[in-house]
Amino acid sequence: MDVWLVATIILGFWMAWNIGANDVANSMGTAVGAKAITPRQAAVIAGLMNFTGAYFFGKSVTETIRKGILHQNMISNPWIIVYGSLAALLAASIWLIFATYNGLPVSTTHSIIGGIVGYGLVYAGTGIVDWGKLAQVVLSWILSPIFGAIVAFFVFKAVRLSILTRSDPVKSARRWAPFWIGLAFVVIGTMFYIKVLHGKNLFYGVLVCGVPTGIAIFGISYLLIRLHFKPSDPYIGVESIFRKVQVVTSAYVALAHGSNDVANAVGPVAAAYAVITMGLSGIKVPVPKWILAMGGLGIAVGIFMYGYRVMETVGKKITELTNTRGFSIDFSAATVILVASWLGMPISTTHTVVGAVVGVGLARGIKAINTSILKDIIISWFVTVPVAAAISAVIFKAILFLAG
């Protein structure tokens, strides 16, 4: 087997490992923080769901140049894509392992984009970079957390007003909890159609997947609450309802994460694979199932080995979470990501989830937010692309030297 292909596969697996170690907090951080599940249970659920999403629903076609961030017509030698893919994967992985070690939730998409920008600048200068696309990436740093925070703020306020602050929370929970749970699954069903099955029509997705799923879950939750919801403490009872729902919503987010973000690891691998095995460097390349399986396995292993660090930051260090708060975060993040995907807006899952956590904290007052840890997270966001680009540029020069 070609030594460059072996190196690309190894680095692709390591990148997938880092995605699992860092991005698991997107789906499981709030569930762990709200004590719906333990970190070990979160690792098992997230590992299985991410692998399933990556293998069965991972993109069968991915861009050779990730997100179209480079003008491909300026790359005359296809092997530059191989060397650049290696440099980008290694640079993104180095940055992600540093961020994960320090418990910082950063965007894996932005990390790989930074790596691609870095090798592109070294190869052909500023003209090769699609600065419009890069501007969209920067815009997502701002839009994602803001939208996540705003929606989560109002969702949690609505949940609290309709259930938690009522004179009889038990009665209110029996009436309103099935509605909120059903509404959440309208969003989840629609997201499955858009993000996992890659459907294009939002309204068709709502009608075919979202509404039927929401109605079914509404009916099931209504019956279960009527039959089994007999708590001695009404507030504990309300939280126990949302605890079970939160496990399901978190598992779904993990499935969607595996189906989409695995491309951050396998996209460069597929591009290099096409060049090495077929001499092709077309815009679209098929991704063999074994590469998707490799990406899914890498994500799962990363979750098991190291995912607890970032989970702790998102779930415990930004603000104190309960199950109703965690549910509000999952519901809000899923809604924002769904609408943004439909509108074609640049958005980061990581940034949206962190923004939603902040929004729920703000609903309880600014003192509920750990501003110190939040400041560290925001700084890490803004340095992701330039740091990954700088590391990639150095690695790319070294690879060119070694390749002769």
| Bridge partners, residue 62, by sequence | 285
Per-residue pLDDT of the chain (404 residues; tens, 9 = 90+): 688 889 999 999 999 999 999 987 778 888 888 888 888 888 889 899 889 888 887 765 455 344 578 887 888 888 998 999 999 999 999 999 999 999 999 988 889 989 999 999 999 999 999 998 888 888 888 888 999 999 999 999 999 999 888 888 878 888 898 999 999 899 889 988 887 787 888 899 999 999 999 999 999 988 888 776 666 777 787 888 888 888 888 888 888 778 777 888 888 888 888 888 877 655 566 678 888 899 999 999 999 888 888 888 888 888 888 899 999 998 898 888 878 877 767 678 889 999 999 999 999 888 889 989 999 999 999 999 999 999 999 999 999 998 87
β-pair type (61-63, 284-286): antiparallel
| Bridge partners, residue 286, by sequence | 61
| CA–CA gap between residue 189 and residue 7 (Å, rounded) | 39
Look up tokens 């696309």; give the residue: 133
Helices (H), 160-233: 169-191, 202-205, 211-228
Position 283 scores a pLDDT of 53
Q: What's the Rg (C-alpha) of the chain?
A: 21
Position 66 scores a pLDDT of 47
